[in-house]
Amino acid sequence: MAARRALHFVFKVGNRFQTARFYRDVLGMKVLRHEEFEEGCKAACNGPYDGKWSKTMVGFGPEDDHFVAELTYNYGIGDYKLGNDFMGITLASSQAVSNARKLEWPLTEVAEGVFETEAPGGYKFYLQNRSLPQSDPVLKVTLAVSDLHKSLNYWCDLLGMKIYEKDEEKQRALLGYADNQCKLELQGIKGAVEHAAAFGRIAFSCPQKELPDLEDLMKRENQKILTPLVSLDTPGKATVQVVILADPDGHEICFVGDEAFRELSKVDPEGSKLLDDAMAADKSDEWFAKHNKPKASG
């Protein structure tokens, strides 16, 4: 399992302008690559939508060694109803705290030196007012679970994650594939995990040869496979193989073949310009405003 690594979390976004401002100007992330698509993804990367959409990868550094955010935008959809499934991303960056204050982006101190803020759409981020000397500032992704013991069996016994911390009293556990990678925090909640329309997806890579074995394991264990092993084409780029799973609470998990993904995910120096050009060409906000109509909800 040492060859597995945490890649990104997928967010559906309704307002690209405000979202780009948050990730670039508040968090201080860079646009790593941007792509426009005319129809929905075979692996439902953009959710259950068939129309035109875009994907923007943002992070503090290259995807080879940083955990990043994948921002998917479905044209014509202005917002998505939030569930209780995604509980936040924690990162260490005194610069992000400083940026938020300067831009008057709302911050709430929830613990000493830890500030809660929200990305457009209501997604929570926790900013630690300190900076790491090196490595990736993104520390962990926190997801809600209804039965911590059951979830640990799934993530550790089936997916091979290591437990870094565990607190039975607080019903939380910190998992990961390697010390220097972004961790997955599972937080027990009372009641069911609701995903609503904004549900995201967490992605990991593994050697491509492991994907069929992973799929077979899930079949043998009677676990949910949302998308059986499939090849995804990106014009002019590497074709990657993925299998999409769901854990006991329905959190979507994408495993992608590492070798092709490293090829696909190279930083595009034009990424930021491509995003800006796409936003400038998207006149949907103006059209809806002119006709005094709200954009659709996801």
Chain segment 158-199, per-residue pLDDT in tens = 999 999 999 999 999 999 999 999 999 999 999 999 999 999
Residue whose token pair is 């904004």: 198
Say yes or no to pLDDT of 2 above 80: no
* pLDDT confidence bin for 1, thresholds 50/70/90: low
Q: How far apart are CA 129 and CA 113, in angstroms?
A: 5
Q: What is the pLDDT of residue 164?
A: 98
Q: How far apart are CA 154 and CA 218, in angstroms?
A: 10
Say yes or no to pLDDT of 204 above 90: yes
* pLDDT confidence bin for 137, thresholds 50/70/90: very high
Q: Write the pLDDT tens digit of every residue in 236-285.
A: 788 899 999 999 999 999 999 999 999 999 999 999 999 999 999 998 77
Q: How far apart are CA 154 and CA 254, in angstroms?
A: 15
The DSSP 8-state label assigned to residue 156 in this structure reads I
* pLDDT confidence bin for 31, thresholds 50/70/90: very high
In degrees rounded to 5, what are phi and psi of residue 212?
A: -60, -40
Say yes or no to pLDDT of 291 above 80: no
Q: Which CATH class is domain 5-291?
A: alpha beta
Which pair of tokens denotes residue 221?
């264990």
Question: Domain segments of the chain: what residues?
Answer: 5-291
